[in-house]
Amino acid sequence: MAKNTLVICIALVCMTLISSAPKTEAVSCMQVVQQLTPCISYVENGGAVSPQCCNGIRTLLSLAPARQDRQTVCTCIKNAIRGINFNQNTLNLAAGLPSKCRVNIPYQISPSVDCARLTF
């Protein structure tokens, strides 16, 4: 039940962002949700990170080659985190996903990151 609520909250946040985002972006918040859905179990429960989760993170990186796209992905993740009651443990697990998947992303997964200031 919590997983369904989490997915619905992320989807609602992303739909709100999609409706207000410039139409020139190549990546959408819905794509971010789709790619990160396999990571929900790990973020909620810990344990092993699934290959599907890591593949989703890698796919997001490939979908966001331009700076604006990467900022969009960052903003979608940030707003999804803000829209859900994460505790410090789940936030730490989410922030650690890139290293667990051996993927380098140019920002920290955090509700306080300023995606607009990222220059990469």
Question: Do 52 and 36 touch, CB atoms closer than 8 A?
Answer: no
Per-residue tokens: 120: 């990469």
pLDDT, residue 17, reads 43
Out of 1.10.630.10, 1.10.490.10, 3.40.30.10, 1.10.110.10, select the CATH number for domain 51-120: 1.10.110.10
With 70 as the cut, is the pLDDT of residue 10 above it? no
Q: How many residues does the chain have?
A: 120
pLDDT band at 120 (very low <50, low <70, confident <90, very high): low
Span 63-85, pLDDT tens digits: 988 889 989 999 998 888 776 66
The residue among 17 and 51 whose pLDDT is bigger is 51
- On the question of pLDDT at 101 being above 90, the answer is yes
This prediction has a pTM of 0.73
Among the listed residues 120, 109, 119, 116, the one whose alpha carbon sits nearest the alpha carbon of residue 32: 109
At 9, is the pLDDT very low, low, confident or very high (cuts 50, 70, 90)? very low
Where do the domains of the chain lie?
51-120
Stronger pLDDT, 44 or 13, i.e. the higher one:
44
